[in-house]
Amino acid sequence: MRRTALPPLSRALPLAVLAAVGLFSGPASAEAGDRVVARPAAFAIGDPSDDDYNRAVRVHNQTGWTMIQLYASSDGNQGNDLLGTKTLSPGLSVVVTIDDGSGACRYALRAEFDNGQTLQRSGINVCQVADYYFTR
C-alpha cells in the first residue's frame, strides 16, 4: 500500500478520531514516524495514482449553507460523494484526498447543499492546492 503523509493539522489528531469521522482507513494506531493515508472511505476506490503528488485538499465551506454532498471528477464522471454520510456545516472544513488513480491533477468539484443549491468549480489543480474555499 502506498502511503502519504497526513496534512499538518491532521497529524495532531489521534488515528481513532480520524477513523471515527471517516478520514482514515487503516490500523487504529501507528508507531511514531509511521505514515498513513488520510482519505474518506467514500472515495477510497481503486489504487492511488502512481506518482509523488499529494492530492489532499482541505475543502472549506464558506457559503453559509450546509454542504450535504461533494463530488470530484477528472473525466466528467461524477464519482462517489466525498462526504459519505457526513455533512459540512458553514464555516467548517474537511480534508479529502482527491485521487481517482488516473494520475490527473485537474478536477471539477461539485458541492450540493441542504437548500437545493449546487456550486460547480472546474480546473482545480489538486496537486498544487492545499486549501479550496467554496463561497457563493
We report the CATH number of the domain holding residue 55 as: 2.60.40
Q: Is the pTM of this model over 0.85?
A: no
Give the integer Cα–Cα distance in Å for 57 and 131.
Answer: 5
Domain that holds residue 25: 8-134
- Is 21 a member of any domain? yes
Weakly modelled stretches of the chain, pLDDT under 70 = 1-46
pLDDT at 46: 55
How many structural domains are present in the chain?
A: 1
C-alpha to C-alpha distance for 48 and 25, rounded to whole angstroms:
14
Give the cell for residue 115.
Answer: 437548500
* pLDDT computed for residue 10 by the predictor: 40
